[in-house]
Amino acid sequence: MPTYPLPFPAKAPAREKLQINNRQAAMESPHTLAIQVVNTASQWNLEFTWPRMSLARAQVLQSWLDSLQGQVGTFRYHPRSATRNATTGASLALAAYSYSTNVKLSGWGVSAASGLSVGQFFQIGDQLLRITAVPVNADASGQLSVEFQPMLRANYIAGAAVNLANPSGVFRLISAETPSFDLDVDGFPTFPSVIAKEAI
C-alpha cells in the first residue's frame, strides 16, 4: 500500500488554481438587515491541468492518480515557484496559536529588507498559508509581523521553522472517481482538470 502523502509527480501542471474555501454561517437580521458572520473553518481548494504529453508520460501520471485510490490517499503539492520566496532560516519569534491570522517571524538582520510580498506562500507545520500583509523591512530586532490566510489550525511554539522557500500543502481528490486521460484527435493523451481539497 502506498505511503501517504505521495510526492507530486515531476510533470508540472500547465495551469494551477489555489483558492480558499471559507466555511461560514451568515445570519441576517429581518429587521435591520445587518449580517453577523461566523467563520468556522477554512481550507484550500486546488485545481490543476497538465499540458499535452506523450503516452508514456501519461501512463506514469495515471498510475500516480490511481495510487491515490480516490479520496483515500493524499499528496503533497508545492505552489508554483513564482509565488514562493528564496528566504531561508526564518522561524517564529513568538508562539503562534490556532485561529490566528498573524505571526511574528525572526531571521532577518536589523531593519533588513524583508524580501516578502503579499500573495507569496509560506508553510508552518503542514499548513500552507498565503501572505496578505507584510512590512518592507524588519524591525530593530530583525523581526517582522506577517498577516496571512487561512487561519492557523494548530498551536506552534516560538522557534518553530517557517518554510518560505519551498512551501507545500497536503491535498486529497474531491471525488471517489479517479481522473483518467483520453486521446485527442491527434492521438495525444489529454487529462481533465484535477480537482482536490486540502486534507485536514
* Residues 129 and 122 sit within 8 Å (Cβ to Cβ): yes
Q: Under 8 Å CB-to-CB from 63, ≥6 apart: which residues?
A: none
Residues 149 and 175 in one domain: no
Q: What percent of the chain has pLDDT over 90?
A: 80
* Residue 66 sits in the same domain as residue 94: no
Q: Are residues 86 and 37 in the same domain?
A: no
Q: Domain check: are 100 and 158 in the same one?
A: yes
CB contact set of 81 (below 8 Å; sequence gap of 6+): none
* Mean pLDDT calculated for residue range 63-69: 97
109 lies in the same domain as 90: yes
Compute the average pLDDT of residues 56-81. Answer: 95
Regarding predicted confidence, which is higher, 95 or 40?
Answer: 95
In CATH, what number is assigned to the domain containing residue 43? Answer: 3.30.200
- pLDDT-based confidence at residue 32 (cuts at 50, 70, 90): confident
Same domain (yes/no): 52, 109? no
pLDDT at residue number 196: 97
Cell digits of residue 49: 491541468
Which range has the worst mean pLDDT, 68-72, 76-80, 90-94, 181-185? 181-185
The residue whose grid cell reads 508554483 is 80
The predicted-structure confidence for 108-119, as pLDDT tens digits, reads as follows 999 999 999 999
Rg of the chain over Cα atoms, rounded to whole angstroms, equals: 20
- The verdict on 74 and 6 lying in the same domain is yes
**Is the confidence at residue 82, as pLDDT, over 80?**
no
Q: Could you tell me if 73 and 90 lie in one domain? A: no
- Number of folded domains in the chain? 2
Q: Give the CATH number of the domain where residue 149 resides.
A: 2.40.30.290
Which residues constitute the domain of residue 148? 81-167
| Distance in Å from the first CA to the final CA of the chain | 21
